[in-house]
């Protein structure tokens, strides 16, 4: 029987994603750094706070600024939602989705919990609101794939051992495993901490590598869902890919195999 290993797109075994909250004007500089080094990120925005002051990104620049990245929910007004009635939470999320979708022109399907606030009831509610993942706060110090996408914890905040963890991530080579590095934070913190050099060093350290898939949060979710839909024969000699996109696997330690969408492939 064939031994099959899932791969990230292109047959890669490592992925890197980032997540930044609140839509502050420092996102402009952060996006420029990410674009220069080929990193992909998710930006979590509060649509009800755009016009509060001049420290925030304005609606008219959202589509162009975050092009090539992902825009996700952070609720309309950034309340501590675990203290709110569930109908209020639902409105905060749905109204944010509607407003952001009108700006970017695609379905907004992710959420970063405002103030890191969540509850079991909220995580059960969110899929019914069209939310497919929720990012929590804190650092796992791990490159493991998330077990629960509705309470998805990043590897680290950018002020927590970022460069050391980046070096560890670069050094990972065992292709029988899949690794994910996930960094989160707020772009305005780089001004407060004098940390722009830090994120630039990290981007230079981890960007442009042939063994890494650079993805947004929702692209990781879509990859996971696509892999789970693959249909293998009982002896792993054939696989049907019902997705519209290609998937990638390794068989018996061989080279990566592309599985075209809508086709059955002999292994």
Please list the helix, strand and coil fractions of the chain in percent, rounded to the nearest 5, in that order.
35, 25, 40
Work out the mean pLDDT of the chain and round it to a whole number. 96
DSSP 220-235: HHHHHHHHHT-EE-TT
Q: Which CATH class is domain 12-225?
A: alpha beta
Task: Report the C-alpha dihedral over residues 44, 139, 41, 43, rounded to 10 degrees.
Answer: 10
Q: What is the pLDDT of residues 19-70, one digit of tens each?
A: 999 999 999 999 999 999 999 999 999 999 998 888 999 999 999 999 999 9
Q: What is the pLDDT of residues 143-176, one digit of tens each?
A: 999 999 999 999 999 999 999 999 999 999 998 8
Task: Please check the confidence at residue 140 and state whether its pLDDT lies above 70.
Answer: yes
What SS3 class is residue 168? helix
The rounded distance, in Å, linking the Cα atoms of 225 and 189 is 33
For the chain, the structural domain boundaries read 12-225
Q: What is the pLDDT of residues 190-202, one digit of tens each?
A: 998 668 999 999 9
């Amino acid at each position: 029987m064939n031994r099959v290993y899932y791969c990230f797109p292109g047959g890669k075994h490592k992925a890197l994603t980032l997540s930044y909250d609140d839509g502050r004007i420092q996102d402009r500089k952060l996006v420029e750094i990410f674009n220069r080094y080929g990193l992909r990120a998710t930006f979590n925005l509060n649509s009800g706070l755009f016009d509060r002051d001049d420290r925030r990104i304005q609606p008219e620049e959202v589509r162009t600024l975050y092009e090539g990245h992902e825009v996700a929910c952070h609720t309309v007004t950034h309340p501590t939602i675990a203290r709110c009635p569930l109908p209020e939470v639902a409105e905060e999320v749905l109204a944010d989705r509607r407003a952001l979708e009108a700006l970017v022109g695609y379905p907004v399907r992710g959420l970063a919990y405002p103030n890191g606030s969540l509850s079991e009831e909220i995580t059960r509610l969110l899929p019914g609101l069209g939310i497919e993942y929720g990012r929590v706060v804190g650092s796992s110090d791990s490159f493991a794939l998330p077990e629960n996408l509705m309470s998805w914890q990043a590897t680290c905040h950018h002020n927590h051992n970022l460069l050391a963890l980046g070096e560890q991530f670069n050094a990972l080579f065992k292709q029988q495993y899949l690794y994910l590095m996930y960094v989160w934070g707020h772009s305005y913190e780089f001004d407060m901490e004098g940390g722009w050099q830090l994120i630039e060093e990290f981007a230079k350290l981890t960007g442009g590598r042939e063994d890494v898939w650079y993805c947004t949060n929702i692209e990781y979710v879509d990859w996971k869902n696509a892999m789970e839909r693959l249909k293998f024969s009982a002896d792993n000699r054939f696989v049907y890919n019902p997705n519209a996109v290609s998937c990638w696997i390794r068989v018996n330690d061989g080279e990566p195999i592309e599985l075209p969408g809508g086709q059955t492939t002999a292994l």
